[in-house]
């Protein structure tokens, strides 16, 4: 089992939480209160923590399923990738998708961090690519 090292950058920060063994996502908590307006664009929400993701893995910030179901808010949590070499504070990009404003409270579980193994690849330029059934067909091409 790999270890995720977490460092608090602020004494008020909460450590990420994983409620059930086998859960994919590790909940990230907010640091501070935020009042976000519909027209604020993307707001970076502080977590107050930094992590050391093992080499060969990446962290993916995703919305929590309950973020979409809460009646009191209308948030869009933006996906983000955390490379294994990054040691800065984790921040979560959030935007309001309903008119008006909403509150995000200090300590709230706002997003989840998923740790995934990623293959290491080399980049090689080629003159052509192998054929596939899909070819160059884009969005909606599968029906």
The per-residue pLDDT for range 60-117, each reduced to its tens digit, is 999 987 665 554 558 889 999 999 999 999 999 999 988 888 889 999 999 999 999 9
Provide the whole-model pTM: 0.85
Fold adopted by 5-117: Deoxyuridine 5'-Triphosphate Nucleotidohydrolase; Chain A (2.70.40)
Task: Name which of 17, 6, 10 is nearest 50 in CA terms.
Answer: 6
SS3 for 99-111 is CCEEEECCCCEEE
| Count of Cβ atoms closer than 10 Å to residue 109 Cβ | 17
Kindly indicate the confidence band of residue 139, based on its pLDDT and cuts at 50, 70 and 90: confident
pLDDT value, residue 141: 67
Q: What are the pLDDT digits (tens) for 12-23? A: 999 999 988 889
Determine the pLDDT at residue 66.
67
Q: How far apart are CA 11 and CA 31, in angstroms?
A: 10
């Amino acid at each position: 089992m790999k270890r995720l090292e977490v460092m608090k950058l602020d004494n008020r920060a909460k450590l990420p939480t994983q409620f059930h063994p086998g859960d994919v996502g590790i909940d990230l908590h907010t640091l501070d209160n935020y009042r976000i307006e519909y027209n604020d664009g993307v707001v970076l929400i502080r977590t107050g923590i930094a992590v050391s993701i093992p080499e060969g893995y990446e962290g993916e910030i995703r919305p929590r399923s309950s973020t979409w179901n809460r009646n009191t808010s209308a948030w869009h949590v933006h996906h983000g990738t955390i490379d294994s070499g990054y040691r800065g504070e984790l921040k979560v990009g959030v935007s309001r998708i309903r008119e008006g404003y909403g509150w995000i409270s200090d300590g709230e579980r706002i997003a989840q961090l998923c740790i995934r193994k990623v293959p290491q690849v080399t980049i090689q330029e080629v003159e052509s690519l192998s054929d596939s059934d899909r070819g160059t067909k884009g969005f909606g091409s599968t029906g």
